Chains A and B, each alone.
Chain A
Amino acid sequence: MKVNVGDTIPPWTMASVSIEKMKTMAAILRDPNPVHWNRKTVAAMGMGERTINQGPLGISYMVNMLQAWAGENCIQHMHVTFPNPLILDEDEIIARGQVKAVDEDGLVYCETWLERNGERGLIEAEVTLNLHNKQV
């Protein structure tokens, strides 16, 4: 795959963030925080009756985008930040990314982010991909 600085990574869409997935994820993570599985808890916080997506699930949408584009096992490093990570059930979230640099060793440096209603700033990541790292 030929990659150039400035290339746009094909976006990946989560059409509707699911409370059922959040419930399963809470069990896998052993995360006791009810904001991820009880809408009434979130409502009591004055944030509406929608559960709050786990941070790792938000990250996973960027991972899915990167792996769909560059292949499984392509991710070497991720530095993820959370400017405003409030993603709620039923949100449509789009993962996007762009190539920022490419080196001679096949490492590709990208910035990735999540968008809701065309606005970014939910979760962002600086990512290093190794396009030669296909072995498992």
Chain B
Amino acid sequence: MSESLTNLIGHQFPGGEYLIEHWENFLLTDCTGADLMASGVVHPIALFHVPIIGAQTSIAEMFALGQAESDSSISIESYDWHFHSPLKENVRYSVTGGVIDVQLDLDEGGRRYDLITFRFEIAGANHPVATTEVAWHYNRGTTIGAHQSES
């Protein structure tokens, strides 16, 4: 089943727009334990959820897209974030995103996983604002041993 996931490479989410209102930045920043930043600047941690929701997808859909066996079967490989300029409140950003890579591999315990990498881009009116790559392990139940073939 996992072999077919390579077909996801190139999959694009619908894309769309996202505007971070003050209340959202206030609550988000409060969750981090920091003080609200000046001049309507949004806490950088917004670069996790703004691309996902702005691209018109969701964590749940991303789990389902990779055929996650359960919520707890997902683990994180890495997040790679580039900030070109700060995110600000009440600015309408355009967001695009999709799947850029899928790899089937084995973990140290010989358990199969698909490593799926998503890439999102956030742009302002005429300039890029940020890019993010999200790489998640979709762990599969099968343990076949590092030197055994599946049969």
Contact between B32 and A64 (Cβ–Cβ < 8 Å)? yes
In-complex Cβ contact of A30 among B34, B44, B59, B79 (8 A): B59
Across the interface, which residues of B come within 8 angstroms of A35, CB to CB? Answer: 71-72
- Contacting residues of chain A (9-56) with chain B, CB-CB under 8 angstroms: 14, 21-22, 24-25, 28-35, 45, 55-56
Task: Enumerate chain A residues within 8 angstroms of B53, measured Cβ to Cβ.
Answer: 30
Total interface residues on A, CB under 8 Å, equals 35
Q: Write the B27-46 contact mask toward A (1 if CB under 8 angstroms, else 0).
A: 11011111001111101110
Q: A14-B33, A64-B32, A78-B80 are in contact. Are A73 and B59 (CB under 8 A)?
A: no
Interface residues of B (CB under 8 A from A): 24, 27-28, 30-34, 37-41, 43-45, 48-49, 53, 58-60, 71-72, 75-83, 86, 88
Mask of A57-74 contacts with B, CB within 8 angstroms, 1/0: 101110110010000110
The 7 A-B residue pairs with the shortest CB-CB distance, nearest first, are A60-B32, A56-B48, A60-B45, A33-B71, A21-B31, A82-B76, A80-B79
Q: Which residues does chain B contribute within 8 Å of A56, judged by CB atoms? A: 45, 48-49
